[in-house]
Amino acid sequence: MTSKKTAHPKTPDQPQPAPNAPAMATLDLIDQIPFHLRNDLMQSIYLVAHNKIDEACEQLDALISQLPQVSMLLLLRSTLRLQINDAAGARADLRSAVEADKQNALLFERFALMQIDGENYRTAEEIFDQSIAVGCAGMVTFIGRCKARLNLSDLDGAMADIETALAYDLAGFDGSASEFKLRQMEAYMHRAQIKIKRADLPGALEDMDTAIECRAEPAAFEQRALLKVDMGDRAGAIADLDRTLEAEPDHVADRLLRSQLRRELGDIDGAWDDCRHCEQIAPNLPEVVANKKILLAQPQRH
């Protein structure tokens, strides 16, 4: 019997990497800064470009003390604080940014997604609720609230949110066509998770197939592989893990799972290949040690 991971998503629903500081110094932000203070902003951007994040934060501290109402400055400092592992400071900046600008969907989304990242799911749901209440909701809002509700075991609420998200088309999406496809993939992956929790595995598989049609990301292949294991399709799971490991060859958990599946299908050589690769990366991991012991007991060992 395969010692597999539970079919739980490694989705791109984790907050997407925040734009780097120079990219956030848009003309819109610069226009909000009085002329005599713009050099201070550009100095902070210069410091970031030279990887002097602490100094850049200090520069922004002085600027924000004079312009506390400029929400995008707070977002910029929040981004930098995350880079220096100051999560509490980053959250405080985003909270202040939302209070300063209650009509900015980006700020609500960043603040809520940060709460999700910290496993504060109820708080995240409440922030998304506020965003929707003031009319600052988009596709990402409903995907994010779906994730929060999934983790709160509110399957009906999560399904309602994801159906709303999937009703968006490119014309109504605030972003590029490529990003829209990524969000569609994410939404179908979430709906698949809801169906898994409702024991509708065939329906979940249909959604995972559609997610991969939207965008063939490693996370989607991994989630479909785990689902196929649950459905007894070992060969199909291996094929999906092949795709995941093409992109992330040193992903120990996926390679270990493929080793176990190959062994169960009689591919001992393939199982050993994966086992040796895992040993090179994590030789003392208990699961890797246990898998090797099982392979050593097989009649065909190389």
Residue 86 placed within a domain: yes
Q: What is the pLDDT of residue 102?
A: 80
Weakest mean pLDDT among 21-35, 87-101, 222-236: 21-35
pLDDT surpassing 50 at residue 9: no
Q: What is the pLDDT of residue 201?
A: 98
Q: What is the pLDDT of residue 215?
A: 96
In tens, the pLDDT along 12-42 reads 444 344 444 444 445 567 778 888 888 888 8
Longest CA pairwise span in the chain (Å): 78
Average pLDDT score over residue span 47-67: 90
pLDDT surpassing 90 at residue 205: yes
**CA-to-CA dists, residue 159 to 109, 110, 142, 300, angstroms:** 19, 22, 10, 48
Average pLDDT score over residue span 103-109: 83
Name the most confidently modeled range: 67-76, 85-94, 229-238.
229-238
Count up the domains in the chain and report the number.
2
The CATH number linked to 55 is 1.25.40
Q: Give CA 95 to chain center in angstroms.
A: 21
pLDDT surpassing 70 at residue 6: no
Beta-carbon neighbour count of residue 223 at 10 Å?
27
Q: What is the pLDDT of residue 26?
A: 54
Query: Which domain range does residue 301 map to?
Result: 259-302
Residue 288 placed within a domain: yes
Residue 46 placed within a domain: yes
Residue 130 placed within a domain: no
Residue 194 placed within a domain: no
Q: What is the pLDDT of residue 110?
A: 87
Domain end call among 58, 73, 101: 101
